[in-house]
Amino acid sequence: MEEQLLGLHHITAIATSAQRNHRFYTNVLGLRFVKKTVNFDDPNTYHFYFGNENGAPGTILTFFPWEGIAPGRRGTGMATEIGYSVPEGSLDFWLKRFDKYNVIYNKPSERFGERYLPFLDPDGLKLELIVPKTADLRQPWETGEVKADMATKGFHNVTLTLQNIKDTADILTEVFGYQLVEQHVNRYRFATSAVANAAIVDLVEVRGEANGLVAGGTIHHVAFRVKDETVQESFREKLADRGLQVTGQIDRNYFYSIYFREPGGVLFEIATDNPGFTVDEPLTELGTHLKLPEQYEARRSRIEQQLPVLG
């Protein structure tokens, strides 16, 4: 098989309240709660996964909800916006829904020939609902209030804000196989032809702007997708050959990961498709049980007592 990077795998952000975060993404946005586990490095903090029915790569938004963490700040050297694909004709539905739930948003606009609706989650994380130029054929998760003809399909793009895009663009094009496809003023759109969806990374260049602060309401890291560990290792070697400091492979139970900080300062991950989220829960029960990494199972009772109650 050709060694390809297959677009976005998941995006991980930081929240300040587990209960509020869970309520917003499941009730308001209508995402499926795919997995309830804990931070591998801090088992007294949840790690939430939201996505489509089976948590397919390219649909997975994850959160570390650190209770009471100070708010972060968008700026350079970080990922700053998450774009979700939605069906044609759905933005009016979302405008009314955001009004109903007091979601902060700006009026719809157009960029690169696509209509989009920017909004903030309860912690100030910036997201956009985007009607893509080409219809997104992915099957969405449907709830009682958010039906399939209005629901999010998964990621459309992610935006990185940088002092200078050149070195980051080189990683995207020379290592990841992306191409520059469009530019408007200081926004440069890169895309991969390896997949039809979750294939876009926008780089916004703002020289002289202050660095961002990764904390509450900001994106922690961006994960790109590969088929398996063999392809992942080939990318690890390519990155190391360029002088980047890349971790060894880490088992995250639902995928295998390597991490590195790209030249613009953003933490990147490369994650595998395998083994997926049904490795420890059947498809019909995803997100209904607290799943702990093996090393924390003996402490389950204590961990469960310390984690916030969801409701």
Count structural domains, the chain.
Answer: 1
Residue 3, domain member (yes or no): no
Answer whether residue 55 is part of any domain. yes
The verdict on residue 282 lying in a domain is: yes
pLDDT digits (tens, 9 = 90+) for 277-297: 999 999 999 999 999 999 999
Distance of alpha carbon 90 from the chain centroid: 22
pTM of the predicted structure, to 2 decimals: 0.97
Residue 2's pLDDT band (boundaries 50, 70, 90)?
A: low
Q: Which domain holds residue 290?
A: 8-306
Q: pLDDT per residue over 120-177, tens digit each?
A: 999 999 999 999 999 999 999 999 999 999 999 999 999 999 999 999 999 999 999 9
**Both structure tokens of 177:** 């196989």
Residue 164 burial by Cβ neighbours in a 10 Å radius (0-12, 13-18, 19+): middle
Does the residue 77 lie in any domain? yes
Rounded-to-integer distance, Cα 7 and Cα 2, Å:
15
Q: What is the pLDDT of residues 246-269, one digit of tens each?
A: 999 999 999 999 999 999 999 999
Quick check: 271 pLDDT over 80? yes
- Summarised one tens digit per residue, pLDDT across range 225-234 is 999 999 999 9
The Cα diameter of the chain in Å comes to 55
Does residue 311 sit within a domain? no
Give the whole-number percent of the chain exceeding pLDDT 90: 98
DSSP classification of residue 232: H
Q: What are phi and psi of 12, to 5 degrees?
A: -120, 130
> Residue 42: inside a domain, yes or no?
yes
Split at pLDDT 50, 70, 90, the class of 3 is: confident
- pLDDT tens across 176-220, in order? 999 999 999 999 999 999 999 999 999 999 999 999 999 999 999
Give the CATH number, domain containing residue 145.
3.10.180.10
pLDDT digits (tens, 9 = 90+) for 43-58: 999 999 999 999 999 9
For residue 198, which amino acid is it? A
Q: What are phi and psi of 230, to 5 degrees?
A: -65, -45
* Position 1 pLDDT exceeds 50: no
In this prediction, residue 311 carries a pLDDT of 72
**Average pLDDT in the chain:** 97
Percent of the chain with pLDDT over 70: 99
Is there a domain that residue 1 lies in? Answer: no
Give yes or no for a contact between 262 and 286, defined as CB atoms under 8 angstroms apart: no
